[in-house]
Amino acid sequence: MRVALVTDTHYGARGDSVAFDQYFKQFYDNVFFPTLEERKITRIIHLGDCFDRRKYINFNSLQSCKEYFFDKARDLNIRIDMIVGNHDTFYKNTNDVNSPDLLLKEYPNVITYSSPTTIDVDGRKILMLPWICTDNYKESMDAINFTEAKVCFGHLEIEGFQMFKGQENHEGFDPKIFKRFTLLCSGHFHHRHGKDNIYYLGNPYQMFWNDYEDERGFHIFYTDTLECEFIINPYTIFEKVYYDESKPIPNAEDYANKLVKLVVVEKSDQIKYDQFVDKLYKANPLEVKIIEDMSEFEADILDNEDVDLSDTQTLLSQYVDALETDVDKTRLKTLMKTLYVEAQDYDS
């Protein structure tokens, strides 16, 4: 049997941004459901963080995701098994009050798991492991240690894996806890990667600038072979444009409905440059940030010609490395990255 795996959909993300919601819809309309119909897949397993905010969702965001995801699945007679993630829970110490249970009651094809549960999928036993908190910690550990399932699908924070591409997490569960499973697939970290028997699926689409040039999509799970086939999402919302007069000028029309960073590498003809910028704005991007002259920033603040100024996360990491302090720099980096991601929710 083939099952679609998707995780960290974060409906209502980026402050209930309509632009991001339409970007998400593009994936479901043109990639996700067409693939399921083509492959005749009738079951979806969602590995947590269905909704973005723990305490509320905008009515428009809720209506929209119901139309392009939940209504579509219901109409196609597709069952959805949904694990509760940390963004789905109202309280931090219990999963009892959670958004999937409260918001999706009208869908008989949606089954939610707020506590550890072993299910059977075409003869394959799978442990469904939602977000582990104070209230369900003992129950979760017992399930991990005593379940007959050799496959686990969860929403877990495991040390030694990457929160974002190239940014390792140093907190959470020891991966050795899960060594009895032949395969553990998890949501929570948005970068798709794996090590040994543990595989983070990654979320379906870009949400922040640190997702730039990091492939997104979903997976098809084969219950007989335990293979996870990755299906790429070709749609992006973050784009960097390099303006260099020694090379062909980019096509401004390609950046409609994108968040754009225009990096000016070489500019000698001001009129030609201004014309390109005008065309870029007329293409209706969601946002344009122009990076034209960083020499003063490099010299006065970083004083390091090797520093990478392409993204904020790298800059933060390099800043911490340069500090003279007795504080644990690894934990400080983790804290700063977490604060940075949370702050991005308030961009708008």
- Residues 84 and 218 occupy one common structural domain: yes
- Residues 86 and 173 occupy one common structural domain: yes
- Residues 23 and 57 occupy one common structural domain: yes
Domain boundary among 215, 232, 249: 232
167-220 per-position pLDDT tens digit: 888 999 999 999 999 999 999 999 999 999 999 999 999 999 999 999 999 999
| C-alpha to C-alpha distance for 261 and 243, rounded to whole angstroms | 10
- Residues 32 and 155 occupy one common structural domain: yes
**Pair 85, 130: CB distance under 8 Å:** yes
- Residues 278 and 177 occupy one common structural domain: no
| C-alpha to C-alpha distance for 32 and 26, rounded to whole angstroms | 9
pLDDT higher than 80, residue 115: yes
Residue in the structure block whose two tokens are 């999509």:
217
- Residues 195 and 295 occupy one common structural domain: no
- Residues 130 and 103 occupy one common structural domain: yes
> What pLDDT is stored for residue 331 in this prediction?
78
Closest CA to 149 of 172, 116, 176, 186: 116
pLDDT higher than 50, residue 88: yes
Tell which wins on pLDDT, 266 or 52: 52
User: Mean of the pLDDT values across residues 229-247?
Assistant: 95
38-62 per-position pLDDT tens digit: 999 999 999 999 999 999 999 999 9
- Residues 169 and 247 occupy one common structural domain: no
- Residues 273 and 193 occupy one common structural domain: no
Domain boundary among 232, 263, 293: 232
Handedness of CA 90, 94, 98, 102 (dihedral sign): negative
User: Mean of the pLDDT values across residues 224-237?
Assistant: 97
Closest CA to 94 of 49, 57, 142, 131: 131
- Residues 164 and 263 occupy one common structural domain: no
> Which band of pLDDT confidence, cut at 50, 70 and 90, is reported for residue 282?
very high
Domain boundary among 232, 267, 298: 232
Q: What is the reported pTM? A: 0.84
> What pLDDT is stored for residue 305 in this prediction?
47
Q: Which letter, b or e, does each residue of 107-127 get, where b requires 16 or more Cβ atoms within 10 Å of its Cβ?
A: bebbebbbebbbeebeebebb
- Residues 217 and 254 occupy one common structural domain: no
- Which structural domain, as residue segments, surrounds residue 287? 238-344
For residue 200, the domain's CATH number is 3.60.21.10
Least confident piece of the model among 79-83, 114-118, 128-132, 340-344: 340-344
The full length of the chain comes to 348
Looking at the structure of the chain, the number of domains it has is 2
- Residues 197 and 252 occupy one common structural domain: no
